[in-house]
Chains A and B, each alone.
Chain A
Amino acid sequence: GQNIDQPTEMTATEGAIVQINCTYQTSGFNGLFWYQQHAGEAPTFLSYNVLDGLEEKGRFSSFLSRSKGYSYLLLKELQMKDSASYLCAVRDSNYQLIWGAGTKLIIKP
């Protein structure tokens, strides 16, 4: 079967750095997405990786290793507004997105 694994919850301190990991086993691979979802709101797009390596976008970076079935989202200079769930999703061979359950990130002052 297809599976996306992420930690259920993480806690970090304002101003610090946090890394959210995602491992996947899917039928085919056509890209990996990270989305942010604040409580009670819709998911919003953060990043996309299809080739191995690091993609940097401001305070957020996303890394992919296709051979290891692994990605991480790195958040720097954490702000209270970064408290949210972070969703990892992989596009499979049928071009459908398979979603992880999300990682709830709690930021403490």
Chain B
Amino acid sequence: TAGITQAPTSQILAAGRSMTLRCTQDMRHNAMYWYRQDLGLGLRLIHYSNTAGTTGKGEVPDGYSVSRANTDDFPLTLASAVPSQTSVYFCASSESSGDQETQYFGPGTRLLVL
């Protein structure tokens, strides 16, 4: 079982360029999430989706957008990248957004914005 896949694995991006980070899960999970992880900080939620067709803003949504056209895919777009968006990005999913639902993580995308 693939679980959650992310693409690309890593990327170097020039400031001002746009980029879409892809995330696909094959577990038919309803809820999906995008986090960024920076050294010395906890995972920070960027955007989330509790079910296909709905999205919400997390703790650090500025500069990012998402869409959830179907259950499996949850792409994250940087419209005009800035160096502060250099980070490791993790996509995660859970069966629902309820109390005990464990989040399962993809392998991450390492992004360097120059």
* A positions within 8 Å CB-CB of B: 4, 30-31, 33, 41-45, 48, 50, 87, 89, 91, 95-102
Give a binary string over B86-114; 1 marks a CB under 8 Å from any A CB, 0 the rest. Answer: 00001000000111101111111000000
- Chain B residues with a Cβ under 8 A of chain A: 35, 40-45, 48, 58-59, 90, 97-100, 102-108
Main secondary structure of the interface of B (DSSP, over half): loop
A43 → B minimal CB distance (Å): 5
CB distance from A25 to the nearest CB of B (A): 14
Within the complex, the shortest CB–CB distance from B43 to chain A, in Å, comes to 4
A22 shortest CB reach to chain B, Å = 11
Question: Which residues of the partner chain A approach B48 to less than 8 Å between Cβ atoms?
Answer: 96
Could you tell me the distance between the alpha carbons of A101 and B99 in the complex, rounded to whole angstroms? 22
Q: What 10 A-B pairs are tightest by C-beta distance, nearest first?
A: A99-B42, A42-B105, A99-B43, A45-B102, A101-B42, A100-B42, A43-B105, A30-B99, A42-B107, A95-B97
Distance (whole angstroms) from the CB of B89 to the closest CB of chain A: 11
A42–B42 Cα distance when bound, in Å, is 13
Q: How far is the CA of A98 from the CA of B40 in the complex (A)?
A: 15
Bound: A4/B59 CA distance, A: 15
Partner of A96, one of B58, B90, B104: B58
Set of chain A residues within 8 Å of B100, measured between Cβ atoms: 31, 48, 50
**Interface pairs (21), CB distance under 8 Å:** A4-B42, A31-B100, A41-B107, A42-B107, A43-B43, A43-B90, A43-B105, A44-B105, A48-B100, A48-B102, A50-B99, A50-B100, A87-B42, A89-B42, A91-B99, A96-B45, A97-B45, A99-B35, A100-B42, A101-B40, A101-B41
